[in-house]
Amino acid sequence: MYEEMSLEETLYRLVRPRPDWFDIDAVQLGLSRVLTEFRALAIPLTRFDQLMQICNSQRLRDVVAAEPGLKGVKGLKTDYPQHAALHELGKRSEVSSDLCQLAALVICTLEKWDKRICSGAYDEKDVAMFSRRLEAIWRQVRLISEIGVELLPPVTRDVETFYNALDDVIEQLDPREKEALGTDYAYLVEIRRFFNFYLGGGRIYERSRKGSEPGRTIESSSLNVSTDFSDPESELAPDSSHDNVLGSRRNWDQIRESEIYKAGNSPDELEDGPRLMRAHQALASAHGGSFKQVAIRARNRLVHQ
């Protein structure tokens, strides 16, 4: 990357700094940590050795033209999010290589996305989208904890490969794991959203299955409702009510492979849709009957059996 740029222009693209280069010492340490991962990911970078030497020898302030005056950190995270993220990575005593690799891939992706926009093939909406995603992705890099970072799949230089792997990780989390992750789950989703938009995707409402991935088979089954459900000592005959419930369940092979089943829970707890009750009598609409009344009566029959 940055083949046609000067050394100073390359540094500006890598950092996207505020003109005063706020806390440049922390920035150059954060940049050094991320640049190391460019080579680990085999991402081509012009003047790599020279850039590393500048950061490691703490000569960044001698290379760039920083505007005089100290403005403080206010506004840095929103107006110059890439600068803010590298500053954060430089302030920490330790940073995992996985997080630095993610930052390296984000820098590479943003540069490609920016060039795409500058080619003139995109309108103002695309520019606005780029700006929003740029701010959002660096916010996730700054805020995600080590627990969230450990869930990231191995970072690769191929964006689509990494996106698909991250999509798999997120989709395989069950509700309890999502709740336990808390904000880290939201950060992972935002990271996925960034790469999704770069690849030309839209809003993610549900998983779009890959062509080679087998779909989940959902079977509708009619379950007879007996008095045993509510009162095992009831004197009513088991077939006294002909109401039944229509539910959606996976096939048995997939139930056995599910984490819920392996954890020792009942297969009856694993359903992929709502339960629908079907009354044993037709709706007497001519006599003032309504769907609401039918539902209330059916529920009462279950409670009082």
The conformation of residue 233, written as its DSSP 8-state character, comes to T
Torsion sign, CA atoms 54, 29, 99, 21: negative
Residue 194 in domain: yes
Q: How many residues does the chain have?
A: 305
Structure-token pair, residue 173? 């989390």
- What tens-digit pLDDT sequence spans the chain (305 residues)? 777 889 999 999 999 999 999 999 999 999 999 999 999 999 999 999 999 999 999 999 999 988 887 678 888 999 999 999 999 999 999 999 999 999 999 999 999 999 888 877 666 777 888 999 999 999 999 999 999 999 999 999 999 999 999 999 999 999 999 999 999 999 999 999 999 999 987 655 444 444 444 555 555 455 544 434 444 444 444 444 455 666 666 777 777 777 767 777 776 666 666 666 666 667 677 767 676 776 676 667 656 55
Instruction: Mark whether 168 and 225 lie in a shared domain.
Output: no
At 190 the pLDDT is 95
Instruction: Mark whether 81 and 139 lie in a shared domain.
Output: yes
Residue 206 in domain: no
At 283 the pLDDT is 67
> In which residue are the tokens 């950061």 written?
55
What H or E segment, with its residue span, contains residue 276?
Answer: strand 276-278
At 93 the pLDDT is 94
At 8 the pLDDT is 93
Residue 32 in domain: yes
End-to-end CA distance of the chain: 73
Residue 295 in domain: yes
Query: What is the distance between the alpha carbons of residues 201 and 194, in angstroms, rounded to a whole number?
Result: 10
At 236 the pLDDT is 43
Q: Give the CA distances from residue 194 to residues 134, 136, 182, 207, in Å, rounded to whole numbers and listed in that order.
A: 8, 8, 19, 16
At 109 the pLDDT is 96
Comparing C-alpha atoms, which of 212, 172, 208 is closest to residue 188? Answer: 172
At 305 the pLDDT is 52
The CA angle 10-130-150, to the nearest 5 degrees, is 80
Instruction: Mark whether 222 and 193 lie in a shared domain.
Output: no
Q: What is the dihedral of CA 100, 105, 111, 112, to 10 degrees?
A: 180
Residue 114 near residue 122 (C-beta atoms within 8 A): no
> In which domain, by residue range, is 178 found?
7-198
Domain count, the chain: 2
Query: What is the distance between the alpha carbons of residues 102 and 104, in angstroms, rounded to a whole number?
Result: 5
Instruction: Mark whether 144 and 284 lie in a shared domain.
Output: no
Instruction: Mark whether 122 and 257 lie in a shared domain.
Output: no
Residue 288 in domain: yes
Instruction: Mark whether 169 and 240 lie in a shared domain.
Output: no
Residue 19 in domain: yes
Instruction: Mark whether 117 and 44 lie in a shared domain.
Output: yes
Instruction: Mark whether 106 and 228 lie in a shared domain.
Output: no
At 180 the pLDDT is 94
Q: Which amino acid is at 163?
A: Y
Query: What is the distance between the alpha carbons of residues 142 and 296, in angstroms, rounded to a whole number?
Result: 52
- As a three-state string, the secondary structure of 73-91 is CCCHHHHCHHHHHHHHHHH
Residue 205 in domain: no
Backbone φ and ψ of 284, nearest 5°? -90, 70
Q: Which amino acid is at 94?
A: E
CA-only gyration radius of the chain, Å: 28
Structure-token pair, residue 5? 């740029």
Instruction: Mark whether 261 and 299 lie in a shared domain.
Output: yes
The conformation of residue 68, written as its DSSP 8-state character, comes to S
At 1 the pLDDT is 77
Query: What is the distance between the alpha carbons of residues 208 and 8, in angstroms, rounded to a whole number?
Result: 43
